[in-house]
Amino acid sequence: MPKNTRILPKSPRPLVVVLAYDGLCTFEFGVAVEVFGLPRPELGADWYRFAVASVDAGPLRATGGVRLMVDGGLELLAEADIVVVPGWRGSDAPVPEALCTALRAAWARGCRLLSICSGVFVLAATGLLDGRKATTHWRYTDTLRQRFPAIEVLDDVLYHDAGLLLTSAGSAAGIDLCLYLIREDYGLEVANSVARRLVVQPHRDGAQPQQLLRPVARQRESQTLGQLFDFLHQNLTVNHDTASLAKRAGMSPRTFLRRFTDCTGTTPARWILNERLLRARDYLENSPLSVELIAEQTGFGSAALFRHHFRHMYCLSPSQYRKKFMLIAK
């Protein structure tokens, strides 16, 4: 066990282990700490446990000169339910075979492996991504494709879920992937609570492009749209048109559409549909409500329309999704 170690308490809660190494990418590491490592007593006693595993022996210095204390070495991966690989020291930097072996063993017993930004090169080195889809920061996609031709590299998505292997684009997209994981594990409301603490948008779809080549909304308009998002979350069952939303935001319809898309990367109609589907999924996971009642309480109006949109998004009917989720939960 490395000398830079502190004692890790035992607990039955899911254990998230984030890798640390000399030359660590500070931002991506901080994302994992902020999302999974902070105490969140308001979310109950079943919140994730968190630990830091050192890849290297001896003192660790992150980018910017920050020195790190860790909870242990690679032996922690044998206990982990989730392993987070932050940005690696370089796209061409070698990955220790001991790390690859530990990651493959963790994956083989059902542990989820999550990479942020150039952390994908670590997962790629294990061979686990061969024949699978994966993404990374747009600056590294060509390099990833050239170095690991067996991987189907997704050039322009925020994150991708390939079962036990989850990869994200650069930096802030790691937050999106971590929130996605929370939605999968704890449901929509808990993920939204964490997003509020982080002061970030609760949900950006993984298929959203990494680069939105449009100007960012002005600060005043961003505040106005934030109030509008709160209003829409509270009124998802109501039908909204562009004219009424623009009026509420104090903009012309044309300006509203432009600014809304600048802020979210999608149209108001699509945003509302995604939010309704997320809430419906939460009902399917956490309530006994019938499909008909869920359709009514999420604004779809009819069960047929709800089933159509749900199947289109998740490739399963609502009933099939609920059965699958219950099996996983057991």
Asked, for residue 33, whether it belongs to a domain, the answer is: yes
Contact indicator for 223, 251 with CB cutoff of 8 Å: no
Question: Domain of 51?
Answer: 15-192
Asked, for residue 39, whether it belongs to a domain, the answer is: yes
CATH label of the domain that carries residue 316? 1.10.10.60
* 1 Cβ contact list (under 8 Å, min separation 6): 72, 73, 75
Res 59 pLDDT > 70: yes
Neighbouring CB atoms inside 10 A of 302's CB total 11
Indicate the DSSP class of residue 207. Answer: T
Cα 220–223–224 angle (5° rounding)?
85
Of the three residues 138, 164, 192, the one that is the final residue of a domain is 192
**In percent, how much of the chain has pLDDT > 70?**
88
Contact indicator for 112, 81 with CB cutoff of 8 Å: yes
Q: How far apart are the first and last CA of the chain?
A: 34
Separation of alpha carbons 204 and 190, rounded Å: 16
> Which tokens hold the place of 265?
């990367």
pLDDT tens, 137-171?
Answer: 999 999 999 999 999 999 878 899 998 999 999 87
Of the three residues 192, 214, 236, the one that is the final residue of a domain is 192
pLDDT tens, 248-279?
Answer: 999 999 999 988 888 887 899 999 998 999 89
Strand order from edge to edge, sheet including 15-20:
49-54, 15-20, 82-85, 112-116, 165-168, 159-162
Q: How many domains does the chain have?
A: 2
Res 4 pLDDT > 50: no
Among residues 25, 100, 111, 117, the one annotated as catalytic is 117
Asked, for residue 110, whether it belongs to a domain, the answer is: yes
Question: Within this chain, do residues 178 and 296 fall inside the same structural domain, yes or no?
Answer: no
Res 10 pLDDT > 60: no
Enumerate the H helices of 140-241 as residue ranges: 141-147, 173-186, 188-198, 219-234
Question: Within this chain, do residues 307 and 171 fall inside the same structural domain, yes or no?
Answer: no
Confidence of residue 7 (pLDDT cuts 50, 70, 90): very low
Separation of alpha carbons 330 and 55, rounded Å: 33
**In percent, how much of the chain has pLDDT > 90?**
56
Question: Within this chain, do residues 25 and 168 fall inside the same structural domain, yes or no?
Answer: yes
Res 103 pLDDT > 50: yes
Is residue 111 among the annotated active site residues? no
Of the three residues 192, 207, 227, the one that is the final residue of a domain is 192
Residue 54, classed as helix, strand or coil, is strand
Res 8 pLDDT > 70: no
